[in-house]
């Protein structure tokens, strides 16, 4: 089975995570794919395969080499919540002609609007039917790892110890909360969870989630003077007090943002959920202080009706690598061997690798050849996924 076939099979699994759930994993449907991957790893011939709390671990002993440097690869099974991941119907476009792709009668991808399409002309693409996301984030990563491992096991290529892991709940910032480092005995690892395959990412956002809970007073509007407190209006006021240009649609590069993920409310109660993102740790601290300061000012104005709760999600992995770039240099060598010049860009997001690095396991991020993640405009390049399989195998050469 090819990487293309594996990918198409994996995206058939509905694996969306649920931020409101307190279980590990957050949704039972992720366990269905975890069980399938566990069985696939066992059939493939790994020396050890374990599933714990929704994470699948598989391990290969060294073969034909004196190298004892153990290397790991990680990808996540869940998909984002912005749009449905159920009943995904991938379509294959052979030898893409560079023109607008019509996903269905309503939705199309124009290269001028989605410039990543301009870089994949004449490549075979996998796209959605316009009704769901595709799941390239991160089932392309899973397919690449599984294909690379299958080819490695059935080849004579020497390699040191290898571990792979497939995690749940990355999209809700809880992908490695239950990750057992004892089941992943490596010197360093890589997440395969980006887009462009010439990139090695080791600078991520610092990230937090802020939940603003507002209590109002509901009363008949005809008798409301000096008595009603409309929580929905307070939510609007809170949002208006944040920096108007520090939002995802107006920032790039290392510029951080406040992302209003959701807003719900009525007169009696309202809730805002924000994602806070900054590369610079001091600016990140200022973001969290800004949220609390606005809450303080509005509580003074409205008699303590607002509660702001902030939960840190992950940190900039670069700060926890402490200058150890062995993993980066090894990936650079493999990318050059594949005929490309490696690039390093600040990630406008995060990966399981950010949290693993903070816990002591250095884990930069590599690409998948899939683009426009978290929506109906996702697509994956088949030749890029194939090249990424070769890069993974090249990293492991002993």
User: Does a cis peptide bond (omega within 30 degrees of 0) precede residue 138?
Assistant: yes
**Known binding-site positions for Zn(2+):** 76, 137, 171, 193, 374
Tokens of 22: 């307190």
CA distance 240 to 108: 33
Whether residue 131 contacts residue 90, with contact meaning beta carbons closer than 8 Å, is answered with no
Per-residue DSSP letter, 119: G
Per-residue DSSP letter, 18: -
Whether residue 15 contacts residue 134, with contact meaning beta carbons closer than 8 Å, is answered with no
Number of Cα atoms under 13 Å in the Cβ half of residue 305: 22
Helix ranges (H only) for 338-396 are: 352-358, 382-395
159 Cβ neighbours under 8 A, 6+ residues apart: 60, 62, 63, 64, 65, 67, 152, 396, 397, 398
**Known binding-site positions:** 76, 137, 171, 193, 374
Q: How far is CA 225 from CA 14, 220, 267, 298, in A?
A: 50, 10, 14, 20
Q: How far is CA 158 from CA 16, 22, 81, 143, 249, in A?
A: 37, 43, 41, 22, 47
Helix (H) or strand (E) segment spanning residue 249:
none
Catalytic residues, by residue number, are: 78, 170
CA distance 304 to 154: 65
CA distance 376 to 135: 10
Whether residue 243 contacts residue 273, with contact meaning beta carbons closer than 8 Å, is answered with no
């Amino acid at each position: 089975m090819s990487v293309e076939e594996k990918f198409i099979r994996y995206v058939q699994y509905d694996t969306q995570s649920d931020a409101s759930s307190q279980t590990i994993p957050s949704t039972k449907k992720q366990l269905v794919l975890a069980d399938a991957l566990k069985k696939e790893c066992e059939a493939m011939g790994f020396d050890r395969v374990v599933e714990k709390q929704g994470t699948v671990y598989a391990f290969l002993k060294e073969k034909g080499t004196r190298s004892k440097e153990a290397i790991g690869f990680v990808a996540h099974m869940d998909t984002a919540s912005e749009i449905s991941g159920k009943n995904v119907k991938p379509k294959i476009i052979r030898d893409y002609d560079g023109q607008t792709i019509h996903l269905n009668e309503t939705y199309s991808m124009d290269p001028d609007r989605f410039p990543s399409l301009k870089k994949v002309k004449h490549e075979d693409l996998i796209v959605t039917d316009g009704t769901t996301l595709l799941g390239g984030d991160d089932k392309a990563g899973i397919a690449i790892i599984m294909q690379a491992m299958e080819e490695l096991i059935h080849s004579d290529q020497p390699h040191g110890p290898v571990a792979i892991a497939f995690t749940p709940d990355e999209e809700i910032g809880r992908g490695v909360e239950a990750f057992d480092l004892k089941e992943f005995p490596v010197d360093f690892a890589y997440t395969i969870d980006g887009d462009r395959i010439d990139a090695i990412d080791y600078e991520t956002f610092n990230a937090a989630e802020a939940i603003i809970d507002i209590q109002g007073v509901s009363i008949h509007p005809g008798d409301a003077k000096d008595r009603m407190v409309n929580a929905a209006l307070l939510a609007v006021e809170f949002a208006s007090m944040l920096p108007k240009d520090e939002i995802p649609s107006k920032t790039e590069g290392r510029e951080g943002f406040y992302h209003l993920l959701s807003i719900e409310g009525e007169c009696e109660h309202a809730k805002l959920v924000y994602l806070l993102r900054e590369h610079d740790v001091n600016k990140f601290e200022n973001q969290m202080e800004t949220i609390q300061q606005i809450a303080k000012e509005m509580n003074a104005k409205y008699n303590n009706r607002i509660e702001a709760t902030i939960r840190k999600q992950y940190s900039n992995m670069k700060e926890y690598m402490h200058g150890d770039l062995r993993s980066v240099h090894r990936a650079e060598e493999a990318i050059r061997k594949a005929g490309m010049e490696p690039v390093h860009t600040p990630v406008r997001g995060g990966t399981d690798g950010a949290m693993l690095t903070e816990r002591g396991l250095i884990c930069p991020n590599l690409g998948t050849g899939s683009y426009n993640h978290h929506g109906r405009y996702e697509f994956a390049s088949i030749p890029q996924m194939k090249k990424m399989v070769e890069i993974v195998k090249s990293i492991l050469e002993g």
